């Protein structure tokens, strides 16, 4: 078994449209260790995160974070994501209340 620490989602500004940020490669499992969302604007914004099972689609049943408000200049540490385990083909998807207002970064470990 090999464990590789990795940035799963490089820093990215979230979009309003639901966007897949990371998909677990075949033959790999993933453990999320850290996730941060930073509001880069002067207005409170919200974001949502879905953990979508392999072959599934974004749905309310896949929410891990739903419409979480982040005030101006706040960094939110996303404790809901820490320790989550993803199987091969599972994905992380996001959406935000305003485009280019919230910056996301996720790191973790891939286990093969």
Which residues have C-beta within 8 Å of that of residue 103, sequence separation ≥ 6?
11, 12, 13, 14, 37, 38, 40
Which positions of the chain have pLDDT values less than 50?
A: none
As a whole-number percent, the residues of the chain with pLDDT over 90 amount to 99
Per-residue model confidence (pLDDT) at position 89 = 98
Per-residue model confidence (pLDDT) at position 32 = 98
Return the DSSP state at 62: G
Residue spans of the domains in the chain: they are 3-111
Q: Going by CATH, does the domain composed of 3-111 fall within 2.60.120? A: yes
Strand partners, 4: 110
The residue whose two tokens read 């970064």 is 105
Whole-angstrom distance, CA of residue 51 vs CA of residue 71 = 24
Which tokens sit at 49? 């995160």
């Amino acid at each position: 078994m090999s464990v590789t620490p990795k940035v799963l989602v490089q820093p990215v500004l979230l979009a309003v449209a639901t966007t897949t940020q990371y998909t677990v490669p075949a033959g790999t499992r993933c453990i999320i260790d850290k996730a941060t969302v930073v509001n880069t604007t002067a207005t409170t914004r919200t974001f949502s995160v879905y953990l979508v099972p392999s072959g599934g689609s974004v749905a309310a049943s896949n929410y891990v974070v739903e419409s979480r408000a982040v005030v101006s200049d706040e960094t939110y540490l996303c404790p809901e994501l820490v320790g989550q385990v993803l199987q091969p083909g599972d994905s992380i998807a996001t959406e935000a209340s305003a485009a280019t207002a919230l910056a996301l970064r996720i790191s973790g470990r891939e286990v093969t």
